[in-house]
């Protein structure tokens, strides 16, 4: 039985990853979760310089999900290289660094600094809904996405994954633009823009007014988009959006995802990634699946 | 040595202490690592309410391996918890946060100050702290939950918003009216109270250790949901934000920009 998957030439011991922003840089969860059991740790977004993020409250619960507006708080790439990469290198798992920025130059600076670092892939966050300028703009217009992908691809030493926003009319247009510009893979979906109002205080529940919705409530939207993108492009897909267990992860794989990432559910059950990896093996046994890659995109 | 973990524990007892304020003892090995001022995350069984509820530890019984939480019903999560009975299972993650620095107050004159649902963590602190304790607690009305238990460990001064018992007003009014003095403050309560105590401590030139509350998601320092503004750059974040769940919830007030 083979649980290995390959994405853009990088081999992962299993398809299970952490979704960026929900797992810090692995350190925070390492007392609870054996990182060696993960296909990859996808880190929280890192920019060229430290970012303060948004005021609090930054998180709120919604029915079957949550809203967040952290605002990409991060310590900057220099601290990240010095502290977080050496930490992650202690474990037998792949490292995918999520890169954020406000301008193409910001992204390129981070990508260049990571060039000689022992990381396996770069996930480019062009779809965070919680920063006021930059970021999201690159992910909502196909020509902008094409341009930034091309510029990053010129400098990147590792394969890149463009992370797509669901807050668009047609996500396949975005996926096609990323593919045409040379992206090695795509990941989807980022959070869905939402809002919650506190009726007692008569104000916004998040200081940022809007936030990104995640959790099991958004899963059907994410599965649909993975399916659409799988039909539109040839590059591999990492699927995410409300994955809570192996059944959810397998849905994403059948829809066309080669890798699967657990996001908000890490907060609800820190052992979710492990349970998903184990559940995928059980599913393989149950249906005599020799290679997990064989099921990817088989529901058409 | 016990280690932070998520586990399914068992409810040992539950009662309503005051209107909407519940008192639950939980059987868990996590009691062996619990410190005053720490908290646990409590998970709902209703999976439409996903995020764990951070609840401070009120009392620790290491002999019987039990933790006590005293909490206010504030939404559907805490409403669910309030219905649990002896023998029911309860999913918890803990123990979390730094707790109060007992050494900073040892042998000194100390104010232990609690406001409303910030009172419960003062009980285990009062038990463990070897110091001359003045315990100042603020309530809405004459439902004085935990006051009699606190009185076993120090002199208790009460303020009530409606003036039904003790000083009419808040804990600061009680300190003033009673002419109380201390060398150190340890406090938990609503943000306006903590801001007032920070100002009071600065005027008096004494340290104040305050325990904060904020909306949390992960509880372990990963999501950066529950941050507080700090005066200096935080050692971990490299910006002026510290994580309440892991760097706190207890801070030296003068380190914060609140």
**What is the per-residue pLDDT for B241?**
96
Cβ–Cβ contacts within 10 Å for residue B207, how many? 18
- Asked if the structure places residue B167 within a domain, the reply is yes
d(CA B219, CA B9): 18
What confidence tier does B152 reach under pLDDT thresholds 50, 70, 90? Answer: very high
Instruction: State whether A66 and B217 contact (CB < 8 Å).
Output: yes
DSSP B81-135: HHT--TT-EEEEEEEES----GGGTTTSEEEEEEEGGGSTHHHHHHHH--SEEEE
Q: Is B149 left (phi over 0), alpha (psi -120 to 50) or beta?
A: alpha
Which percentage of chain A shows pLDDT scores above 90? 94
Q: The domain spanning residue A236 has which CATH number?
A: 3.20.20.70
d(CA B213, CA A157): 43
What confidence tier does B175 reach under pLDDT thresholds 50, 70, 90? Answer: very high
Chain A residues in contact with B224 (beta carbon < 8 A): 24, 44, 53, 58, 70, 73
Report the residue of chain A nearest B245, measured CA to CA.
Answer: A28
Tally of structural domains, chain A: 1
- The mean pLDDT of A3-9, rounded to a whole number, is 98
- Asked if the structure places residue B245 within a domain, the reply is no
A100 is catalytic: no
Report the residue of chain B nearest A73, measured CA to CA.
Answer: B224
- Asked if the structure places residue B90 within a domain, the reply is yes
Q: Among B47, B223, B238, whose Cβ lies nearest the Cβ of A267?
A: B223
Q: Are A212 and A232 spatial neighbours (Cβ–Cβ below 8 Å)?
A: no
What would you report as the CA-atom Rg of chain A, rounded to the nearest whole angstrom?
Answer: 18
What confidence tier does A255 reach under pLDDT thresholds 50, 70, 90? Answer: very high
Instruction: State whether A75 and B238 contact (CB < 8 Å).
Output: yes
Cβ–Cβ contacts within 10 Å for residue A134, how many? 18
Report the residue of chain B nearest A272, measured CA to CA.
Answer: B6
Q: Are residues B86 and B106 in the same domain?
A: no
Give me the domain span that covers residue B44.
5-96
User: Of B211, B230, B250, which residue constitutes the final position of a domain?
Assistant: B211
* Average pLDDT score, chain B: 96
Checking if the pLDDT of B258 tops 80, the result is yes
**What is the per-residue pLDDT for A136?**
65
Tally of structural domains, chain B: 2
Chain B: closest CA distance from residue A252 (Å):
21
**Active-site residue identified among A128, A156, A240, A280:** A128
- Asked if the structure places residue B83 within a domain, the reply is yes
Checking if the pLDDT of B171 tops 80, the result is yes
**Which of these, A187, A211, A189, A231, lies nearest to A96 by C-alpha position?**
A187
Span of A131-135, A270-274, B82-86 with lowest mean pLDDT = A131-135
- Asked if the structure places residue A208 within a domain, the reply is yes
**What is the per-residue pLDDT for A127?**
75
Give me the domain span that covers residue A258.
5-295
Length of chain B: 258
Give B185-221 pLDDT, tens digit per residue.
Answer: 999 999 999 999 999 999 999 999 999 999 999 999 9
CB contact burial B118-129 (16+ within 10 A = b; e otherwise): bbbbbbbbbebb
- Asked if the structure places residue B125 within a domain, the reply is yes
Instruction: State whether B215 and A56 contact (CB < 8 Å).
Output: yes
Q: Are residues B78 and B132 in the same domain?
A: no
d(CA A277, CA A280): 5
- The mean pLDDT of A89-95, rounded to a whole number, is 98
**What is the per-residue pLDDT for A138?**
82
- The mean pLDDT of A281-289, rounded to a whole number, is 98
Tokens (6 digits) for B162: 């409606």
Chain A residues in contact with B221 (beta carbon < 8 A): 24, 28
- The mean pLDDT of A255-281, rounded to a whole number, is 97
Give A169-223 pLDDT, tens digit per residue.
Answer: 999 999 999 999 999 999 999 999 999 999 999 999 999 999 999 999 999 999 9
d(CA A140, CA A167): 7
**What is the per-residue pLDDT for B2?**
76
Q: Are residues B168 and B124 in the same domain?
A: yes
3-state SS, residue A50: coil
- Asked if the structure places residue B228 within a domain, the reply is no
Q: Are residues B109 and B92 in the same domain?
A: no
Q: Which contiguous run of DSSP H or E holds residue B61?
A: strand B59-61
What confidence tier does B81 reach under pLDDT thresholds 50, 70, 90? Answer: very high
d(CA B30, CA A297): 44
Cβ–Cβ contacts within 10 Å for residue A147, how many? 15
Which percentage of chain B shows pLDDT scores above 90? 98
Q: The domain spanning residue B14 has which CATH number?
A: 2.40.30.10
Q: Are residues B130 and B59 in the same domain?
A: no
* Average pLDDT score, chain A: 95
**What is the per-residue pLDDT for B1?**
58
The complex's ipTM works out to: 0.93
Q: Calculate the CA dihedral of residues A236, A240, A243, A246 and round it to 10 degrees.
A: 10
Cβ–Cβ contacts within 10 Å for residue B46, how many? 11
3-state SS, residue A180: helix
Checking if the pLDDT of A135 tops 60, the result is no
Checking if the pLDDT of B243 tops 90, the result is yes
Q: Are residues B76 and B107 in the same domain?
A: no
Q: Calculate the CA dihedral of residues A54, A58, A62, A65 and round it to 10 degrees.
A: 80
User: Of B68, B96, B124, which residue constitutes the final position of a domain?
Assistant: B96
Span of A133-137, B143-147, B202-206 with lowest mean pLDDT = A133-137
Instruction: State whether B227 and A79 contact (CB < 8 Å).
Output: no
- Asked if the structure places residue A300 within a domain, the reply is no
**Which of these, B101, A34, B215, A144, lies nearest to A152 by C-alpha position?**
A144
d(CA A259, CA A190): 15
Tokens (6 digits) for A146: 């094409």
Q: Are residues B76 and B125 in the same domain?
A: no
User: Of B96, B131, B155, which residue constitutes the final position of a domain?
Assistant: B96
Tokens (6 digits) for A237: 């897909």
- The mean pLDDT of A276-300, rounded to a whole number, is 98
d(CA B174, CA B196): 13
User: What is the DSSP-derived secondary structure letter of residue A83?
Assistant: I
Q: The domain spanning residue B149 has which CATH number?
A: 3.40.50.80
What confidence tier does A155 reach under pLDDT thresholds 50, 70, 90? Answer: very high
CB neighbour list of residue A195: distance below 8 Å, 6 or more residues apart: A67, A204, A206, A209, A210, A211
Q: Are residues B190 and B117 in the same domain?
A: yes
- Asked if the structure places residue B134 within a domain, the reply is yes
3-state SS, residue A35: helix
Instruction: State whether A28 and B218 contact (CB < 8 Å).
Output: yes
CB contact burial A175-194 (16+ within 10 A = b; e otherwise): bbbbbebbbbbbbbbbbbbb
- Asked if the structure places residue B18 within a domain, the reply is yes
Q: Quote the strand ranges of A23-130, DSSP E.
A: 40-42, 59-62, 65-68, 94-99, 121-125
């Amino acid at each position: 039985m083979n649980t290995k998957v390959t994405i853009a030439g990088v081999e992962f011991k299993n398809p299970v990853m952490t979704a960026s922003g929900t797992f810090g840089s692995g350190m925070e969860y390492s007392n609870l979760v054996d990182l060696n059991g993960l296909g990859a740790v996808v880190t929280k977004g890192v920019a060229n310089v430290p970012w303060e993020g948004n005021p609090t409250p930054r998180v709120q619960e919604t029915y079957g999900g949550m809203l967040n507006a952290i605002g990409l708080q991060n310590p900057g790439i220099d601290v990240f290289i010095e502290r977080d990469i050496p930490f992650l290198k202690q474990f037998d798992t792949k490292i995918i660094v999520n890169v954020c920025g406000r301008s193409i130059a910001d992204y390129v600076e981070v990508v260049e600094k990571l060039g000689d670092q022992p990381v396996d892939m770069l996930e480019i966050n062009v779809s965070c809904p919680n920063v006021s300028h930059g970021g999201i703009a690159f992910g909502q217009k196909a020509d902008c996405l094409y341009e930034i992908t091309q510029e990053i691809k010129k400098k990147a030493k590792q394969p890149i994954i463009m992370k797509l926003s669901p807050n668009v009319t047609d996500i396949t247009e975005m996926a096609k633009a990323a593919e045409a510009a040379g992206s090695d893979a795509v990941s989807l979906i980022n959070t869905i823009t939402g809002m919650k109002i506190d009726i007692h205080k008569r104000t916004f529940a998040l200081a940022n007014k809007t936030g990104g919705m995640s959790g099991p409530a958004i899963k059907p939207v994410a599965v649909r988009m993975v399916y659409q993108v799988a039909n539109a492009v040839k590059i591999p897909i990492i699927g995410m959006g409300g994955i809570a267990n192996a059944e959810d992860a397998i849905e994403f794989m059948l829809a066309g995802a080669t890798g699967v990432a657990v996001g908000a559910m890490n907060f609800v059950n820190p052992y979710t990634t492990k349970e998903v990896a184990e559940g995928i093996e059980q599913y393989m046994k149950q249906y005599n699946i020799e290679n997990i890659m064989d099921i990817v995109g088989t529901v058409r | 040595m016990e280690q932070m973990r998520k586990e399914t524990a068992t409810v040992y007892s539950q009662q309503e202490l005051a209107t909407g304020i519940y008192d639950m003892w939980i059987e868990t090995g996590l009691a062996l690592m619990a410190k005053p001022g720490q908290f646990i995350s409590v998970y709902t069984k209703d999976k439409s309410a996903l995020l764990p509820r951070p609840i401070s530890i009120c009392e620790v019984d290491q002999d019987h391996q039990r933790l006590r939480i005293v909490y206010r019903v504030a939404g559907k999560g805490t409403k669910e918890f309030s219905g649990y009975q002896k023998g029911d299972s309860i999913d918890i993650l803990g123990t979390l946060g730094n707790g109060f620095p007992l050494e900073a107050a040892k042998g000194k004159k100390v104010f232990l100050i609690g406001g409303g649902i910030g009172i419960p963590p003062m009980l285990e602190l009062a038990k463990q702290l070897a110091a001359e304790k003045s315990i100042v607690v603020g309530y809405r009305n004459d439902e004085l939950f935990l006051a009699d238990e606190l009185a076993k460990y120090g002199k208790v001064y009460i303020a009530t918003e409606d003036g039904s018992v003790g000083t009419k007003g808040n804990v600061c009014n009680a300190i003033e009216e009673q002419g109380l003095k201390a060398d150190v403050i340890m406090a938990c309560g609503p943000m306006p109270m903590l801001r007032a105590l920070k100002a009071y401590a600065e005027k008096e030139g004494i340290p104040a250790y305050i325990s904060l509350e904020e909306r949390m998601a992960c509880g372990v320092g990963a999501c950066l949901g529950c941050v507080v503004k700090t005066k200096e750059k935080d050692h971990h974040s490299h910006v002026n934000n510290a994580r309440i769940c892991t760097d706190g919830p207890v801070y030296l007030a003068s380190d914060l920009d609140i």
